[in-house]
Structure 1
Amino acid sequence: MIQLPTGKEITIISKPSMDSKEVNLRVVGSKLAQDFVDGFDFSNKRLFVDCDEDALLEIDPSFNSENKLLLWESGKLRFSDEDWKSFLETIPPLSPFLAQDLSGKDLMLAWGKKESLLSAVESGLGTYYSRSRNGKWVKGEESGHLQNLSAIYVHSNPFFIQYVAGQIGAACHTGYYSCFFRELGPNDSISFVYLNKVGV
């Protein structure tokens, strides 16, 4: 079975189907995440791992979540000025940002700050915080593989941002359309979701 990185926080994303925009997540320590993988019920659910092996995607048909609020859609804030101002004061210093495509397929899990969200609201582009570069990161700014946002949702328990975007090219730096290009299976099996990388 895949060995997740130790001493690192792992994000576990859960949703009822591959194309669902109903989603939730939790961030756990590496030992809890490894126990989750090792004891996973592959007979009833599906499990994918991202390119950096620090995010897992669980497809659980029994999952149900309805705790999101529509923040922004098609270039317009959906919060009132008062709610927007109040909301900005509640954003954690660093939080998960999940990007999905227009069909609901999960593209990538990254991290962001208040400034990331403000930039996304202003520009309409998928924007994050790069911990390695210690600064703002607009997805695709260099590669051209931009994320043109159609909606931004806010989840409160736990807090995270959900982007719904038209993905140009590959979301993953490896060249695959999604960072979740490997599916884990029983008996330590791993299969690739996509036959080819984008543009290959």
Structure 2
Amino acid sequence: MSLDPKIAARLKRTQDGLVPAIVQQHDTGEVLMLAWMDDEALHRTLTTGRATYWSRSRGEYWIKGDTSGNVQWVRSVSLDCDGDTILLKVDQVGAACHTGDRTCFDAGVLDAVRGHDDEGAGTRAGDRS
């Protein structure tokens, strides 16, 4: 079995055949990580209910949680309007990041000017005043 041809036709892949997958906690909206999928990884994810990715560094498939126990149970999978990004909503068990953090985006907020709003125009994103 392979990826449904209708789905495969919608995908816009990188030169190495990959599509970025944004992974989000299904009930809170928390962004957990970004990973990469090819057609086979997406097919496995859609048909097993377990998040499966392509490791660019190891050159192999990995099922999230097989070695760490930090499983991602798939709740929904969507393609963006251009077909060049996958949104995977999961029920994350334990840490999502290989560092042991809940999310890969726990490394700290970058200092940036906040966009205009009526209450905080011109303040820094990290400012709470």
Same fold (TM over 0.5): yes
The Cα shift of 1:155 comes to 1.2
Partner of 2:5: 85
Task: Say which of 51, 76, 82 aligns to 1:151.
Answer: 76
Partner of 2:20: 96
The DSSP-based 3-state class of the residue aligned with 2:85 is: strand
Give the root-mean-square deviation of aligned CA atoms: 2.0
Q: Are residues 186 and 128 of structure 1, via their aligned partners in 2, closer, same or farther at CA, if it must alter by over 3 Å?
A: same
Where do 5+ consecutive residues of structure 2 fail to align? 114-123
The Cα shift of 1:101 comes to 0.2
Q: Does 1:113 align with 2:33?
A: no
On the 8 A contact 2:10/2:83 being kept in 1, the answer is no
The DSSP-based 3-state class of the residue aligned with 1:89 is: helix
Q: Which runs of 4+ in 1 moved over 4 A?
A: none
The Cα shift of 1:167 comes to 0.3
The DSSP-based 3-state class of the residue aligned with 1:172 is: coil
Q: Are residues 158 and 142 of structure 1, via their aligned partners in 2, closer, same or farther at CA, if it must alter by over 3 Å?
A: same
Paired positions, count: 106
On the 8 A contact 2:24/2:30 being kept in 1, the answer is yes
The DSSP-based 3-state class of the residue aligned with 2:40 is: helix
Amino acid at match of 2:53: Y
Q: TM-score scaled by structure 2? A: 0.74
Where do 5+ consecutive residues of structure 1 fail to align? 1-83, 192-200
The DSSP-based 3-state class of the residue aligned with 1:184 is: coil
The Cα shift of 1:185 comes to 2.1
Q: Are residues 178 and 89 of structure 1, via their aligned partners in 2, closer, same or farther at CA, if it must alter by over 3 Å?
A: same
Whole-angstrom CA distance in 1 between matches of 2:112 and 2:6: 47
